[in-house]
Amino acid sequence: MPPIFVDSHTHLDFPDFDGDRDAIVARARDAGVTRMVTICTKLKNEPRVRAIAEAYEGVFYAAGTHPMSVADEPMARVEDLVALARHPKFVGIGETGLDYHYTAESAARQQESLRIHIEAARQTGLPLIIHARAADDDMARILSQEHAAGAYSCVMHCFSSGAALGRAALDLGFYLSASGIAAFPKSAELRGIFAAAPVDRILVETDAPYLAPPPHRGRRNEPAYTALTAARIAPLWDMTPEAFAVQTSANFDRLFTKAARSERAA
């Protein structure tokens, strides 16, 4: 039997998977990826993402407004996110965050949206799912300010930011999630940031259909490849893939408590 992993962040609703979604989920299970969280990035798409989670055992979902979409989408409301969280398979708030690489012109609106999602995370007790790119200083500042105003839990999804933001997140008790980027040959500096983090604060993900790890880089990513990224980074903590699978699954259960309760109840 392969090690049992969790893909903590994927996008099963994207059209890249429309032709073979059943096969994608089956391949993930064959590879030992028995649980995954599929992420809604625009709230108008929430019914579609919810239906996918409902259709597959071991698939959960989260919803929010992606920072690159906030200029074109209605501003999320705390009460709407809280209402969505009543669904038994809804396990996280987001993804939300800041992205100044492509969409710096909407920085103020992104920050407003981020604070709304943080408040929803507080009220629901569900973890915040953060996208951060080219906005390290503002991200660290807002996360810290908001945490001081009222605690919440959080994962820095697809973490590829600088060491300072990584330390700030860890100091707040948050988690760092490793995507296929951490497995790229030229990502030695990023792997160093992960290696300096406590292993009990690490998750793994695909962000599929993006960022496939070697040997699939440049092609469509899928949840089964979680195991490939995990095998590449497990040695950072002198762990076997099997031990790393146990550890990161426990980390996921500690952060995504609603998903863990659902699995135990099943």
Distance CA 125, CA 99 (A): 25
β-strands 128-133, 175-178: how paired? unpaired
Q: What is the pTM of this model?
A: 0.96
Contacts of 66 (CB under 8 A, 6+ apart): 41, 42, 95, 96, 97, 99, 131
Q: Where are the beta strands (DSSP E) in 187-248?
A: 202-204
Angle of CA points 121, 62, 16, to nearest 5°: 150
The confidence score (pLDDT) of residue 266 equals 64
Q: Is the sign of the CA dihedral 232, 24, 33, 40 positive or negative? A: positive
Domains of the chain: 5-265 (3.20.20.140)
Structure tokens at 86: 């009543």
68-114 per-position pLDDT tens digit = 999 999 999 999 999 999 999 999 999 999 999 999 999 999 999 99
For 211-234, what is each residue's pLDDT tens digit?
A: 999 999 999 999 999 999 999 999
Determine contact, residues 113/65, Cβ cutoff 8 Å.
yes
* Residue of 133 and 265 predicted with greater confidence: 133
